[in-house]
Structure 1
Amino acid sequence: MTGDPPDGPHDCNAICLGGPCHGMLTHIDQDIGTLTIPVPRRSPSAPQTSARYRVTRERVRYFGRAEPYIALHWAAPPSRCPYGH
């Protein structure tokens, strides 16, 4: 995981969209499936958490970057039905 900005130096090929890691860049080596991405800690004493993201076919382009990023969409936890279903 890296927190580099989209135009900064990095070897990242994917970007998280939505959820707690929105906008974070990472490197992935798979074409399909879901990934568990570590959520950046807000403080050193905060517990380590993670979020699930789906690898998609969508690509996100940034000006000045030759290759587009692979879009990783947040796999939000299922919401609970207010009626207990």
Structure 2
Amino acid sequence: MNSSRPSHNAICLGGPCHGMLTHIDQDIGILTVPVPRRSPEEPEAARYRVTRERVHHPCCAEPFIALYWAEPPDPADSACPCGC
């Protein structure tokens, strides 16, 4: 294994990157993960929330950081309460 390349330490759960392993360097917040696109209609990236949860994967003895898909907000939820 190439020591200059960071190893995977996180797994995406839900959304377009479900099951994909990636490397992250942040402990909290929401980050953008590139989507492995199969067609031009698919998004280029998806937002995932970093959690404290750890998930075991058969490829590695060490658990991965769980990244949960942060679904895009529903436009109806962001509408003005006055209905304008």
**TM-score, normalized by length of structure 1?**
0.72
Q: Which runs of 4+ in 1 moved over 3 A?
A: none
In structure 2, the CA distance between the partners of 1:77 and 1:11, relative to structure 1 (3 Å rule), is: same
**Is 1:69 aligned to 2:64, yes or no?**
yes
Per-residue displacement from partner, 1:15-67 (whole Å, max 9, x unpaired)? 00000110011001111111111111115xx2761110000001001246221
Structure 2 counterpart of 1:53: 48
Letter in 2 for 1:19: G
Say how many residue pairs are matched: 73
Distance 1:26 1:19 in 2: 14
Structure 1 counterpart of 2:23: 27
Greater share of residues in helix: 2
In structure 2, the CA distance between the partners of 1:36 and 1:64, relative to structure 1 (3 Å rule), is: closer
**TM-score, normalized by length of structure 2?**
0.73
Letter in 1 for 2:14: G
**Is 1:11 aligned to 2:7, yes or no?**
yes
Unaligned 5+ segments in structure 1 are: 1-9
Computing the radius of gyration from Cα coordinates, the structure with the larger value is 2
Distance 2:73 2:14 in 1: 15
Q: CA RMSD in A?
A: 2.3
